[in-house]
Chains A and B, each alone.
Chain A
Amino acid sequence: MALHRLSFRLRCILAAVVCIFAVFWLLMLHIFVSLKVCQSERQIGQYYTLPSAHIRTLFPHGLPRRYQLQMKTFNEASMMVRQPALEVISYLKAADYSKPSLRYLFYGLKGSGKTMSLCHTLHFCYTQGWLVLHVPDAHIWVKNCKELLPSSYNTSRFDQPLQASEWLRNFRNTNEHFLSKIKTRQRYSWTKREFTEEGSPLGQLVDQGISRVKSSSDVVGAVMKELRAQSGQPESNFRLALAVDGVNALWGRSTIRKEDKSTVDPEELTLVHNLKKLMTKSWTGGAIITTLSQTGSLFTPKSSYLPQELLGERGFDSMDPFIPVSVPNYSEKEFESCYLYYMDRQWLQHPQGRTEEGKKELIFLSNRNPSMLDRICAFL
């Protein structure tokens, strides 16, 4: 009797499992790759979902605007696995972290997915437990500055308290768990009465910067210096991933003006100066992943996208040697995947969007450029 019941139950369970698998196979037009499975080149073109908890901590400020809207609409964060990001991830896996950190640069046409590749790589680093130092757009530090203070540390430089404090807030969000573990190695005095003692946790330094907005730029400099000194040391147990989007802003021109209407060189800004030091001085135990961006850049022609055009002489010489990674438009397979994803999400409402003719029209209109495709499909 019991055996009979058992076998019946087993049969029911088996049937249920088979049904679920069949349903899965039928419904899934494309496979969502889970985080745990290593991403290899066999999965190029497939979408993988980032957990929303990760999004909140890792990307408070990093994702492109349109992608954030898409996330809100579809209620999930799905990113396509593409070759440039996989390439950099493979280099990260293979690199030796006792040697000086390497610089990687994503470059490509406008809207081809450089920032998304950067975010993908950064997410990989985050899942590996690295400390993430993400500068979402270096261009916002060199333009539209509402408050410019002369720096207290070095009179020839200028502070930007608002941008610095915002960045510190986001940094604290992203790296909560590291802030108590890392200790400062130097004593910092902010004013005559405010100090940060040696050996105090990094979190205290960051809080100091957020609460005392006036000294926030110097705090950013101190944080960068500490992390640079400590990463790669045998006693520290973290790896540092420095991600800068729009790195050509550091060596370009700025639109900020001093009181006597002369332009401020980016080198004269504390934030930019410290970031450049972090990027160019050799440190071990991490990687520097950057993107070029023409969209936010100042005084650069619209058609330029190659590294030397956007970085300029000084930028190229400072970044040298780096590994440039090209981010092309979608390949045919990737375009198919994106199209199927939009269909799956019911994003293409127009009846003609679902036909072969419509697909050919989409290919023609967008030239397989990811952002153009996104904008066009938004109308359909």
Chain B
Amino acid sequence: MASHTSRGLLSLGRISASALGLQRPLSRVTYATNVSTNYSAGKTGLPDRGAGKFARRPRRAPGEPRTEKMPVDQDWTAVYPAAAPFRPGSVPLPVRMGYPVKRGVPPEKKGNLELIKIPNFLHLTPAAIKKHCEALKPFCTEWPSALDTDARCDAHFPIKAESTDYVSAGPSVRNPAARTVHLKVKLSSLNLDDHAFKKMLKLVGERYCRDTDTLTITADRCPLRQQNHDHAMYLLTVLYHESWKTEPWEAEKSVADMEEYSWEDSPSQRNLLDTLVRVEAAGEGGGGGEEVREQLLGRREVQEYKDSVTRLKNEGESESTVMLYKEAVKKVFSLTRTYLMRRMEPGVPRRDVRYHPIRFL
């Protein structure tokens, strides 16, 4: 009886629904008093419309989620064999995601749209990867046993060509990004002398990394990977040969073009030698010319000074390099005995500093 009426009501309900599409809430309101209000735990969803005439088939209660029944040692690759959106009922982890309300916690995973929106890698667990590798093994050849260390690989195969393949499901299997080729070479494996090395650095510019001594040539001008690979090899060959050539205009290289600071012929050397020559002249009052300069250059303190200035300019500035420079300058001008060095030499009998005579005019 109930089922018969419900079916009849259902048909009527459908017609009324199509006719009164927008007015459903209204109709709900109008007939609210006539509707039976016993929403038992099982019955959810729309209230009966119109005195039981438009009542829907009651929905079945959802069963308990699969996570309750999952054993701990299950095969996870069977749960997520391929990339799939996040299913809260299939993932037995108490994950929370989202911005918490005030004095609350992030919302739970059940019905959480944020978790569904983001990409997940539940299909790529280590166990899954292992299975993929096992499946791919029959198609692979063995790694040569002689190439067991990185150093050996670099020695035999100094040029490394890197390119990426893309796989995606779509109307076309082709991906234009697959045509790029990165060629990586260590410049130490190329036969370059000093001039060639510096010229090579100037020619490649940003493509060279000093820390790893690697030159990276990226080619993506041509439509096919093969063509890009050939182009990159051609570029490498041209760079190598060009850097060995010396052009006539390279003689115009100025101090500003130099990669490293060299102390010879620098203003620093000139200043120091000028000062020292004057010091010598004041002390002895004689001599001059080239041999004095040579003699000055040969002194140990001057060499130390040269090292400290070169280090300061090449390696950049830091407290330690500045201190080294200071010590070198003090040694050149023989000021080391005065202040700090006294404290640092415990063997030297300490003259009482307090009664150091003040020099008047």
Chain A positions within 8 Å of B, measured between CB atoms, are 37-38, 40-42, 86-87, 90-91, 93-95, 98-100, 102, 107, 128-129, 237-239, 282, 284, 306-309, 317-318, 320-326
- Tell me if A321 and B271 are in contact (CB < 8 A): yes
B326 within 8 A of A: yes
Chain B residue nearest to A319 (CB atoms) is: B271
Distance from B337 Cβ to chain A, minimum over Cβ atoms (Å):
7
Report B-chain residues with C-beta under 8 Å of the C-beta of A238.
361
- Tell me if B267 and A320 are in contact (CB < 8 A): yes
Chain A residue nearest to B267 (CB atoms) is: A317
A284 touching B282 in the complex, CB below 8 Å, given contacts A94-B338, A309-B317: yes
Chain A residue nearest to B343 (CB atoms) is: A41
Q: How far is the CA of A240 from the CA of B361 in the complex (A)?
A: 11
Q: How far is the CA of A379 from the CA of B212 in the complex (A)?
A: 53
B359 within 8 A of A: yes
Report A-chain residues with C-beta under 8 Å of the C-beta of B249.
none
Contact with A along B346-358 (1 / 0, CB 8 A): 0000000111101
- Tell me if B329 and A323 are in contact (CB < 8 A): yes
Report B-chain residues with C-beta under 8 Å of the C-beta of A107.
322
3 closest A-B pairs by beta carbon, nearest first, are A317-B267, A94-B338, A90-B339
- Tell me if A324 and B271 are in contact (CB < 8 A): no
- Tell me if A323 and B330 are in contact (CB < 8 A): yes
Chain A residue nearest to B309 (CB atoms) is: A320
B86 within 8 A of A: no
B171 within 8 A of A: no
Contact with A along B252-276 (1 / 0, CB 8 A): 0000000000000011100110110
A-B contact list, 27 entries, CB within 8 Å: A38-B356, A38-B358, A40-B353, A40-B354, A40-B356, A41-B343, A41-B353, A91-B335, A91-B339, A93-B358, A93-B359, A94-B337, A95-B335, A100-B279, A102-B333, A128-B358, A129-B360, A237-B361, A307-B317, A308-B317, A309-B317, A317-B267, A320-B268, A321-B332, A324-B326, A326-B319, A326-B323
- Tell me if B361 and A129 are in contact (CB < 8 A): yes
Chain A residue nearest to B361 (CB atoms) is: A129
Chain A residue nearest to B279 (CB atoms) is: A99
Report A-chain residues with C-beta under 8 Å of the C-beta of B278.
99-100, 282
The residue that A320 contacts in the complex, of B271, B337, B356, with Cβ under 8 A, is B271
A38 touching B354 in the complex, CB below 8 Å, given contacts A91-B339, A93-B359, A323-B330: yes
Report B-chain residues with C-beta under 8 Å of the C-beta of A99.
278-279, 282-283
Report B-chain residues with C-beta under 8 Å of the C-beta of A284.
282
The residue that B326 contacts in the complex, of A37, A129, A323, with Cβ under 8 A, is A323
- Tell me if B272 and A326 are in contact (CB < 8 A): no
A321 touching B335 in the complex, CB below 8 Å, given contacts A282-B278, A306-B317, A306-B318: no
B312 within 8 A of A: yes
A38 touching B355 in the complex, CB below 8 Å, given contacts A282-B275, A308-B312, A323-B335: yes
- Tell me if A320 and B339 are in contact (CB < 8 A): no
- Interface members, chain B 9-51 (any A CB < 8 Å): none
Besides A93-B358, A317-B271, A323-B333, 18 other CB < 8 A contacts?
A: A38-B353, A38-B356, A38-B358, A40-B353, A41-B343, A90-B338, A98-B282, A282-B274, A306-B317, A306-B322, A307-B322, A308-B312, A320-B271, A320-B309, A321-B275, A323-B330, A323-B335, A324-B325
Distance from B105 Cβ to chain A, minimum over Cβ atoms (Å):
34
Distance from B236 Cβ to chain A, minimum over Cβ atoms (Å):
35
Distance from B303 Cβ to chain A, minimum over Cβ atoms (Å):
14
Interface centre among A91, A308, A318, A320 (most CB of B within 10 A): A320
- Tell me if B356 and A93 are in contact (CB < 8 A): yes
* Secondary structure of the B contact surface, majority rule: helix
B54 within 8 A of A: no
Q: How far is the CA of A86 from the CA of B340 in the complex (A)?
A: 11
Distance from A126 Cβ to chain B, minimum over Cβ atoms (Å):
12
Chain B residue nearest to A92 (CB atoms) is: B359
Report A-chain residues with C-beta under 8 Å of the C-beta of B335.
91, 94-95, 102, 323
B305 within 8 A of A: yes
Chain B residue nearest to A323 (CB atoms) is: B329
Chain A residue nearest to B319 (CB atoms) is: A326
Distance from B319 Cβ to chain A, minimum over Cβ atoms (Å):
7
- Tell me if B353 and A324 are in contact (CB < 8 A): no
- Tell me if B356 and A321 are in contact (CB < 8 A): no
- Tell me if A87 and B340 are in contact (CB < 8 A): yes
- Interface members, chain B 267-317 (any A CB < 8 Å): 267-268, 271-272, 274-275, 278-279, 282-283, 305, 309, 312-313, 317
Report A-chain residues with C-beta under 8 Å of the C-beta of B356.
38, 40, 93
Interface centre among A99, A102, A282 (most CB of B within 10 A): A99
Report A-chain residues with C-beta under 8 Å of the C-beta of B360.
128-129
Q: How far is the CA of A20 from the CA of B305 in the complex (A)?
A: 55
Report B-chain residues with C-beta under 8 Å of the C-beta of A325.
326
Q: How far is the CA of A195 from the CA of B340 in the complex (A)?
A: 51
Report B-chain residues with C-beta under 8 Å of the C-beta of A91.
335, 338-339
Q: How far is the CA of A87 from the CA of B337 in the complex (A)?
A: 12
Contact with A along B84-102 (1 / 0, CB 8 A): 0000000000000000000
Report B-chain residues with C-beta under 8 Å of the C-beta of A93.
338, 356, 358-359
Q: How far is the CA of A7 from the CA of B94 in the complex (A)?
A: 97
The residue that A128 contacts in the complex, of B274, B275, B353, B359, with Cβ under 8 A, is B359
Chain B residue nearest to A328 (CB atoms) is: B319
Chain B residue nearest to A88 (CB atoms) is: B339
Q: How far is the CA of A86 from the CA of B337 in the complex (A)?
A: 15
Q: How far is the CA of A91 from the CA of B336 in the complex (A)?
A: 9
- Tell me if A317 and B353 are in contact (CB < 8 A): no
Distance from A111 Cβ to chain B, minimum over Cβ atoms (Å):
18
Q: How far is the CA of A94 from the CA of B354 in the complex (A)?
A: 14
Q: How far is the CA of A102 from the CA of B275 in the complex (A)?
A: 10
Q: How far is the CA of A98 from the CA of B356 in the complex (A)?
A: 20
Report B-chain residues with C-beta under 8 Å of the C-beta of A306.
317-319, 322
